[in-house]
Amino acid sequence: MKTLNDFNFNNKKAIVRVDFNVPLDENFNVTDTTRIDAAKPTIDKILKDGGSVVLMSHLGRPKGIEEKYSLRHILKTIEKAYNKPVKFVSDCIGEDAQGEVNKLEVGEILLLENLRFHSEEEKGDLEFAKKLANFGDIYVNDAFGTAHRAHASTTIIAQFFPNNKCFGILLAKEIESINKVLSNPEKPVTAILGGSKVSSKITVIENILDKVNHLIIGGGMAFTFVKALGGKIGNSICEDDKLELAIEILKKAKDKGVQIHLPVDVIGADSFSNEAKTEVFDVNLIPDGWQGLDAGPKSLVIFDTLLNNSKTILWNGPLGVFEMENFAKGTISLGESIAKATSNGAFSLVGGGDSVAAVKQFGLEEKMSYVSTGGGAMLEMLEGRVLPGIEAILND
């Protein structure tokens, strides 16, 4: 696996695919700089070697050229994060862009305009990729969040750099962290899968059953399993068409010697609202008119014990509706248990939009071994797929 450290960028231009698809408020201020900050080590290394950097990214889902999706809006944030001026060109291909690239001197950074202003980017167009390839001597992919897309800038471009392509520091760390869980984990391994639907996690469950010793199923998807086992779940969320599948998953897990852990109790609510009346119920005995919105206190004690006896932990998905304060305790408690296990030497990997949002919201991010920057990409890796953006670098 070729990484940044396999190259010296002295007097070289690096064309770097970053993932600067960051959230903006109504005044175009960046509200979360995580992805910009995460690319800094890669850019620092290239500049330190005596190279220059051409940055390319998408932002949002524009239909043609739309000013609100211009990367110009994030220029000041990038300059502040990297503590140096960043040049900008209002297209990502063409004469103006080529002219700015040609003028780029050692130690300088140039940001190209939004790649998705051209439909050829998402189509994986060869000619478009070739034009981008003309901007660099070495291609660096540091955009894990888009590594599962076979777009021009993430995959197709790599073929124009048969011997001069590599993973950036961030993307290499993402691959390494996921491999630490999937390929050679220290046992016992515990995975926590939460969220509302079993259907969105089926392939993940099937792929990780061979790798884990324990699987905690929480969040709304737990109720499909509870109902499948004959429990009364009241008005809790449930995928009735997946009951047989839930039984199949439980059987597969048993055959493979994997212990599945469902919540034993829940915080029930008489409506889907933070102001709802709440009560603790046995997970199998939720009355009609009530719905489970968070894991209960007994469940959290069981999960805490389990996690603190684990050496490798994967967390994808919350235990409850953590966006509502009264139903956030399960997710916070789970995060704190993982943090404690991590401080005692376990390796913990957190991925998926909601889990990442939760660890950030509750100040637990620094207490995890690794927090992934790519939701969809990480899920696809957990499903056992080879991501096109990663494969393109590995193929010579």
| Residue 173 marked ligand-binding | no
Is 17 known to be catalytic? no
Q: Reply yes or no on whether 72 is catalytic.
A: no
* Residue 19 in marked binding region: yes
Q: Confirm whether residue 352 is marked as ligand binding.
A: yes
Q: Is 353 annotated as a binding residue?
A: yes
Tell me: is residue 323 an annotated ligand-binding position. Answer: yes
Q: Which of 87, 130, 180, 376 is catalytic?
A: 376
Query: Is 345 a catalytic site residue?
Result: no
Tokens 């926590």 -> residue: 192
Does residue 255 have a known ligand-binding role? no
Is 292 marked within a binding site? yes
27 marked among binding-site residues: no
Q: Which of 12, 13, 17, 35 is catalytic?
A: 35
- 354 marked as binding residue: yes
Among 40, 72, 87, 197, which one carries the catalytic annotation? 197
Q: Is 385 annotated as a binding residue?
A: no
For the chain, the three-class secondary structure string (H helix, E strand, C coil) is CCEHHHCCCCCCEEEEECCCCCCECCCCCECCCHHHHHCHHHHHHHHHHCCEEEEECCCCCCCCCCHHHCHHHHHHHHHHHHCCCCEEECCCCCHHHHHHHHHCCCCCEEEECCHHHCCHHHHCCHHHHHHHHCCCCEEEECCHHHCCCCCCCCCHHHHHCCCCEEECHHHHHHHHHHHHHHCCCCCCEEEEECCCCCCCCHHHHHHHCCCCCEEEECCCCHHHHHHHCCCEECCCCCCHHHHHHHHHHHHHHHHCCCEEECCCEEEEECCCCCCCCEEEEECCEECCCCEEEEECHHHHHHHHHHHCCCCEEEEECCCCCCCCHHHCHHHHHHHHHHHHHHHCCCEEEECCHHHHHHHHHCCCHHHCCEECCCHHHHHHHHCCCCCHHHHHHHCC
> Which member of 298, 311, 340, 353 is catalytic?
353
Catalytic residues: 35, 197, 353, 376
Positions at the binding site = 19-21, 35, 58-61, 116, 149, 201, 292, 323, 352-355
Positions at the binding site for substrate = 19-21, 35, 58-61, 116, 149
